[in-house]
Structure 1
């Protein structure tokens, strides 16, 4: 930890020192540039003043002009202490305050002169071999209106020694301050590092003791700083047992969640007969809450005598049991029960695990399937037997009697038609129930639609002198599958015609009906007749497959017993409802309600 503290201190010092050094370099460079820019601007102003005070001589004689300008240059040197040079546009020097013009080189290629000839003013900084120091040169073009380049260029030179000496002083001060800052930063950094590493040392020592199973050891809580890294190590050490306990609790919670969301009831019984586990589905099946059952004996479930007796038998003679029991509390259900002996908590004694599953619906469907198969077999057998019997009679010789043969063949044809209708209805019902034929919804004009239905059935109604009265609200449209809706209405109207005596009446009405919530509109189609009616005991079953109220009349009318079942399924596919109101001897009324717009 001491090495870490030393490294941390050095790191702090280097960070602070490098930051201050970078700031000093930036400041020195900025100071130098700003001072040089200010000096250059000042020298240009002085050149303009000098040019105004001592204008370029108006003469074509170069010798005379050189003598004049040489005098002025030396005079200005005595007054201002700065070197001044007069240069012709071709670079020849006409006058200089420090040297004789004839001894000086051509200045045309000097940077400041070239820039002044090009732009009117120029400047440069370079080392002077003559003066052995860096100089700033500033030049301006004078009397530019007199020619392309004017009479010439005036140049002013000034030493940068003062500026550089000022910068040297600043660097000395910066270095001294930086050294002082290093010392202060070192002291402060060491103090900070000590404040960080000391609690870390205590916490690390405590963590090592905790790793050696000394879980009672605790250290003071640290602040919100770099100590967090070690705090995580402390948390890992100090709460290792707690983490394991939390994991066990988490597993228990997950297990309980799985049990509560299982579709099967689960009950666990200890060897002493007390219930230790009782999930949510078991509450639904057996009608008591977990709070009432857990920790108490299974024998207290008095509502289910057969189940208690079965549990006692398995506890006395451990063996897996699979039974189906009917329970009547809280409601009648058929439960499939699996009882499995199991060892609990490593003891030699065995408890029990009960898994309960509601198979009421499954068994009901199986029964319905069996009944359906039996009904189909019976319904198919009847016309087949009739066809077979009459065919055998014809083959036995009745075919020679023309009248008898015609009668028998008519019956065979009728039974064949009935058999064909029956098979067609069975296939249609199977297709509807399996949803293999999706509905194609479209807007239907109900008045025109019901009119077509009446036209199709009017010949059948006319045979029995039955009046068809079909009415609908004008402009009433319904979103539905037209073919399927036709099946529904056709079946209901045919039922009315079949079960209405001669001279009766079948009415069809279509109107708007508001739903109870008032938000959705429904269409109500009512088909009523003045027929024989339906007994009250038969009304709940009339939509079952092959169920007939009057079997003799149904068969004589050619019914298959599947029409109303098809109507019920198609209505549900349209998200609608159908119900029946009937009085024996007074007629029946089928009320079909469908949503105006399909969801």
Structure 2
């Protein structure tokens, strides 16, 4: 923009300079012509005066006439300092104020002489080789006053040096004025050019910033002329672009937030095989980061050979694909994969959109549901078959034997009780898992609570000669649902009694402890026994429904296989934790920790 400003300034100066120079030339030329014309008229009048004072001699004696005219020319030279030349009609010089007549050339071919012979008056301007300066010559044709009627030409010459000096002075003043005018014009032109180019320069800078996506820049709007209107239009365009860019940014942020918070992995692959989108869930499922994958080929996902092969196959043959695929990195997962070919940004070739869903938990739940149904069916089948078998035996004639009938009816009653407990536990577990019966928290005096638990279980422990040892700190209270807490403790103590041989011992301890973060207090209830113990391989699974370490012993003890599962769920509802420590042949220890105050 500085170059443009310089060019505009120079253009203004040249226009002004040429205008002034042309005016000066016209004025100088006019001055010169007017001065020469006035001088010519003045010289003609002087020639007539001279001719009246000294008329052309009326004699035919040329020598006498020449001497007379030579003398008069000298006299006038002394009086008026004018050069006078007397010329015959044939061009011979008869007298001259500055030179001897006989030494001068014939003047018949002089322009002023020729014109005077034709018109009576003639003039010319030329450089005089004799005087070495520019001269104006004026000649008139004259006639003697006598009867002889002699004719001749009188010429008056005057130097134009004064005129040239005046013109030179005028030109000097003109050039000086022109230089000064150039300086003033340069300053004014620069200011004018600056006022024109500065807004354009600002607009250019603003346009460059807008080209670099800086739409917050603005241009001073100025006046109401075209430049101001252009500035307002540019600002309006920048504001519109900024608004659209902000909206695009918000939409992009919103879309990115949606992608990052999706529970499905999303991967977008361009037609050339380059990964262009890789969301946060895809990072978790496939074990690599967005930075490692975006902009690189899908073939570099070397940890998932089957997935890469499937992608390559769909890119070669674009069809929708829905499959389940097991991946082993970063951990074993079952992924449900949807592959959809899609056209991107007007490309003729098709890219690929992958949607990945971890269905490991779903399939595990489906398997657990299936196993649960199978287990329930199996558990129900056993008592139903016993009831049916013994009742058929009784109907077949065993009723006639009172002792046998009594024995069979006792078995039918026990199996019915077992069936009732099983159905009750299933319904209870279903209610707990679905949270259809919310907990009612209240402060519980643990001393009275464990006293009631001991009263209920002491007769059962006495049947196997098992010592029931309950100890807890004094004044210990706990905020919990008393009925549900009773289910937890009852199940743990009954398990200890059931799996402890005769003469064994079941201990219950309750104490205040700090939580792992050290900020809150919790009540730790420990139920330990001297029973058969649990193998280490079975400990992770003992809280599963219907899982039994010793199936024969569990059935003989009347267990349904749902007790520990119920305990686990109720503990979680109380925001507590439950863990097991056990050694085979030594005994087991269940450690229950519940917050002193519920969150």
Establish whether TM, by shorter chain, passes 0.5.
Answer: yes
Any idea what SS the aligned residue of 2:590 has? strand
Any idea what SS the aligned residue of 2:585 has? coil
Q: How much does 1:410 deviate?
A: 0.7
Structure-2 separation of matches of 1:399 and 1:293: 79
Structure-2 separation of matches of 1:280 and 1:516: 31
Say if 2:533 and 2:588, in contact at 8 Å, map to a contact too. Answer: yes
RMSD, aligned α-carbons: 3.0
Any idea what SS the aligned residue of 2:306 has? helix
Q: 1:273–1:403: structure 2 CA closer, same or farther, 3 Å change rule?
A: same
Find out whether 1:440 has 2:440 as its counterpart.
yes
Q: 1:418–1:231: structure 2 CA closer, same or farther, 3 Å change rule?
A: farther
Q: How much does 1:222 deviate?
A: 5.1
Report matched runs for 1:27-106 at 5 Å: none
TM-score when normalising by structure 2? 0.61
Q: How much does 1:370 deviate?
A: 1.1
TM-score when normalising by structure 1? 0.61
Say if 2:219 and 2:231, in contact at 8 Å, map to a contact too. Answer: no
Report matched runs for 1:119-518 at 5 Å: 220-221=219-220, 234-238=234-238, 240=240, 244=244, 247-518=247-518
Q: Equivalent residue for 2:134?
A: none
Structure-2 separation of matches of 1:590 and 1:308: 48
Q: 1:220–1:580: structure 2 CA closer, same or farther, 3 Å change rule?
A: closer
Structure of higher CA gyration radius:
2
Q: Equivalent residue for 2:520?
A: 520
Structure-1 separation of matches of 2:218 and 2:452: 92
Q: 1:486–1:230: structure 2 CA closer, same or farther, 3 Å change rule?
A: farther
1:35-82 deviations in Å (ceiling 9; x for gaps): xxxxxxxxxxxxxxxxxxxxxxxxxxxxxxxxxxxxxxxxxxxxxxxx
Any idea what SS the aligned residue of 1:475 has? coil
Any idea what SS the aligned residue of 1:322 has? strand
1:296-340 deviations in Å (ceiling 9; x for gaps): 111111100010111111112111000111111112211110001
Q: How much does 1:255 deviate?
A: 2.7
Structure-2 separation of matches of 1:400 and 1:230: 117
Q: How much does 1:525 deviate?
A: 1.1
Say if 2:514 and 2:520, in contact at 8 Å, map to a contact too. Answer: yes
Q: How much does 1:552 deviate?
A: 0.5
1:134-180 deviations in Å (ceiling 9; x for gaps): xxxxxxxxxxxxxxxxxxxxxxxxxxxxxxxxxxxxxxxxxxxxxxx
Q: Equivalent residue for 1:564?
A: 564
Q: 1:247–1:457: structure 2 CA closer, same or farther, 3 Å change rule?
A: closer
Q: How much does 1:544 deviate?
A: 0.9
Structure-2 separation of matches of 1:464 and 1:219: 93
Q: 1:463–1:249: structure 2 CA closer, same or farther, 3 Å change rule?
A: closer
Structure-2 separation of matches of 1:260 and 1:443: 44
Report matched runs for 1:11-30 at 5 Å: none
Any idea what SS the aligned residue of 2:538 has? helix
In the alignment, structure 2 segments of 5+ residues that lack a partner are 1-194, 212-216, 223-227
Moved segments of 4+, more than 3 Å: 228-234, 237-254
Q: Equivalent residue for 1:21?
A: none
Q: Equivalent residue for 2:536?
A: 536
Structure-1 separation of matches of 2:467 and 2:254: 69
Q: How many residues align?
A: 391
Any idea what SS the aligned residue of 1:516 has? coil
Any idea what SS the aligned residue of 1:537 has? coil
In the alignment, structure 1 segments of 5+ residues that lack a partner are 1-197
Q: How much does 1:245 deviate?
A: 5.2
Structure-2 separation of matches of 1:508 and 1:308: 57
Q: How much does 1:256 deviate?
A: 2.7
Structure-1 separation of matches of 2:255 and 2:219: 37
1:211-268 deviations in Å (ceiling 9; x for gaps): xxx9xxx995259xxxx99987652235545655554454444333322222211111
Structure-1 separation of matches of 2:441 and 2:250: 51
